[in-house]
A and B are shown apart, each in its own frame.
Chain A
Amino acid sequence: MTGARLPPTPGQTVGPFYGYALPFDGDSELVSTQHPKAVRLHGTVRDGRGSPVPDALLEIWQPDADGMISREPGSLRRDGYTFTGWGRAATDDTGHYSFTTIEPGSSGNGTAPFFAMTVFARGLLNRLFTRIYLPGHAALASDVLLTAVPADRRDTLMARREGDGLVFDLTLQGERETVFLAYPGN
């Protein structure tokens, strides 16, 4: 982790025309809808005026229900059995996205489980990172990241339970702006 750092290659916007290139069959289905623990993770992406963003692309990366991190290939050609932990979903014309997945388990020492999410969109010049925490977990109150985020913004990182699904809306800009993350080296 030491030594000279090479200057990173800059990012650029995903643009408007990824639609025929990045989405693929089964991209947003980390598990089948028939899976006994299948849950829908969905929501709407909005801009600074509250308008839906119909050309955003979201990716999630998560451990399985037991907190295990998958090292299995096969996300691009899913076999219906292997949990790879990674998925991709483009928003539709109403700015809505939807994943079929399972709820992640805690990956270490009872820490609060979360989905890691990447956000791309036309008009967004570089990707954004965020986390989606599960509501009601005992470890939320002591989570290192959540407790460091101002209290009035914490709920932008929390999914809410609605029906048999988890809802997580994103706001790219403004009063209700989602907390986006910068990691060291970014």
Chain B
Amino acid sequence: MKAYRRARLRESASVADVTDAADREPVEASADSATATQEDITQEIEAISANYAAATRPETMPRLDYPPYRSSILRHPTKDLHHADPETIELYAPVFGLRDVDPLESDLTIQRHGDPIGERIVVTGRVVDGAGRPVANQLVEIWQANSAGRYIHKRDQHPAPLDPHFSGTGRCLTDDQGNYRFTTIKPGPYPWKNHHNAWRPAHIHFSLFGTDFTQRMITQMYFPGDPLFPLDPIYQAIVDPEARERLVAAYDHDVTTHEWSTGYRWDIVLTGSQRTWMEGEDDR
């Protein structure tokens, strides 16, 4: 109750204060959220998980309605999504090219005048559609915290150091085979205000386009073996264990390079393309 009142007070004082506090203390969270313990949240996660284990049809996407992630409580649709057959513009995706993205934007370690602190890594993989066809020459955008778990975003007030040599944002175009590749620094985990002592597992945000508008998606890539996985309500909102695993990159020693960086591989499957491809179209 106290946390809720505090947030409302902020709102009446200044809208900017609320947004500054946005993820640290969500105004729309239930009254007791900021005082919930990790144990409370873990119990909620486990209860949902136990209930799901009884289900037969695997869920492939996160639940939109997942109360352990408090910010979702007032932001998920409560009515059924309306099933629609994609038409006209929905059967196409915007086109990006070399005019949009400089190849250097895929290296997050060379954007400022100096080397960022942390573990240099390469993250690479392939973007394909549901039928396994490469999503070629399409935009991939990433953003992430630095090695200390701090974003340069003004709303991030985590008292960990900013790195003057690291912006944490990158872009690239997939190649003709759908491959993407980024050089970056391994992000650190960071605290947030979902509940008391809440920590997000280290992750890199990925924004992806397919060949159809209907394939547009944003997600998060995680690192193998993170001890925070069972505690994190955002990761656990994907209730199917195999589906969750699809967000975890694999360490790949073939991507690791001698005396330079370690390597991770993460392949991405978009939902199926609905459009019948025309001959020659995929070599654009």
Binding site for B on A (CB under 8 A): 1, 3-22, 47-49, 51, 53-55, 59, 61-63, 67, 69-77, 84-86, 93-94, 104, 107-108, 111, 114, 116, 118, 120-129, 144-145, 148-149, 153, 172-174, 177-186
Residue pairs across A and B with Cβ atoms less than 8 A apart, 20 shown, are A7-B242, A8-B270, A9-B247, A10-B60, A10-B243, A10-B247, A13-B69, A17-B153, A18-B205, A20-B152, A63-B88, A72-B95, A76-B96, A77-B99, A116-B213, A123-B69, A125-B234, A173-B75, A179-B82, A183-B271
Q: What are the residues of chain B within 8 A of A120 when measuring CB–CB?
A: 218
Contact mask B175-196 → A, CB, 8 Å, 1/0? 0000000000000000000000
Min CB–CB distance A89 → chain B (angstroms): 15
Closest 8 CB pairs of A and B: A123-B71, A73-B97, A21-B143, A86-B94, A107-B88, A123-B75, A185-B272, A16-B23
- With contact pairs A6-B132, A123-B71 given, residues A75 and B100 touching in the complex (Cβ less than 8 Å): yes
Min CB–CB distance A129 → chain B (angstroms): 7
Flag if A180 contacts B82 (CB, 8 Å): yes
How many residues belonging to B are interface residues under a CB distance threshold of 8 Å?
Answer: 92
Q: What are the residues of chain B within 8 A of A47 when measuring CB–CB?
A: 28, 74-75
Binding site for A on B (CB under 8 A): 15-16, 18-19, 22-23, 26-28, 58, 60-64, 66, 69, 71-79, 81-90, 92-101, 128, 130-132, 139, 141-143, 145, 151-156, 167-169, 171, 205, 207, 213-214, 216-220, 234-235, 237-238, 242-244, 246-247, 268-274, 276, 284
Min CB–CB distance A75 → chain B (angstroms): 6
Flag if B95 contacts A9 (CB, 8 Å): no
> DSSP majority for the A interface?
loop
Q: What are the residues of chain A within 8 A of B27 when measuring CB–CB?
A: 51
> DSSP majority for the B interface?
loop
- With contact pairs A74-B97, A186-B271 given, residues A124 and B72 touching in the complex (Cβ less than 8 Å): yes
Flag if B96 contacts A75 (CB, 8 Å): yes
- The docked-state distance in angstroms from the alpha carbon of A177 to that of B81 is 11
Q: What are the residues of chain B within 8 A of A51 when measuring CB–CB?
A: 27-28, 74
How many A-B contacts if CB must be within 8 Å? 287
Flag if A10 contacts B61 (CB, 8 Å): yes
Q: What are the residues of chain A within 8 A of B58 when measuring CB–CB?
A: 7
- With contact pairs A125-B76, A127-B218 given, residues A184 and B85 touching in the complex (Cβ less than 8 Å): yes
Flag if A125 contacts B22 (CB, 8 Å): no
- With contact pairs A49-B74, A84-B95, A186-B271 given, residues A126 and B89 touching in the complex (Cβ less than 8 Å): no
- With contact pairs A8-B130, A49-B28, A174-B78 given, residues A94 and B153 touching in the complex (Cβ less than 8 Å): no
Flag if B151 contacts A7 (CB, 8 Å): no
Flag if B100 contacts A123 (CB, 8 Å): no
Flag if A123 contacts B28 (CB, 8 Å): yes
- With contact pairs A63-B89, A86-B94, A124-B64 given, residues A173 and B78 touching in the complex (Cβ less than 8 Å): yes
Min CB–CB distance B61 → chain A (angstroms): 5
Given contacts A21-B141, A51-B27, A69-B92, 9 further A-B contacts (CB under 8 A): A13-B72, A17-B143, A20-B167, A71-B92, A108-B87, A116-B213, A172-B75, A173-B78, A186-B81
Contact of B269 among A9, A71, A108 (CB under 8 A): A9
Min CB–CB distance A13 → chain B (angstroms): 6
Min CB–CB distance B187 → chain A (angstroms): 11
- The docked-state distance in angstroms from the alpha carbon of A90 to that of B155 is 15
Min CB–CB distance A131 → chain B (angstroms): 8
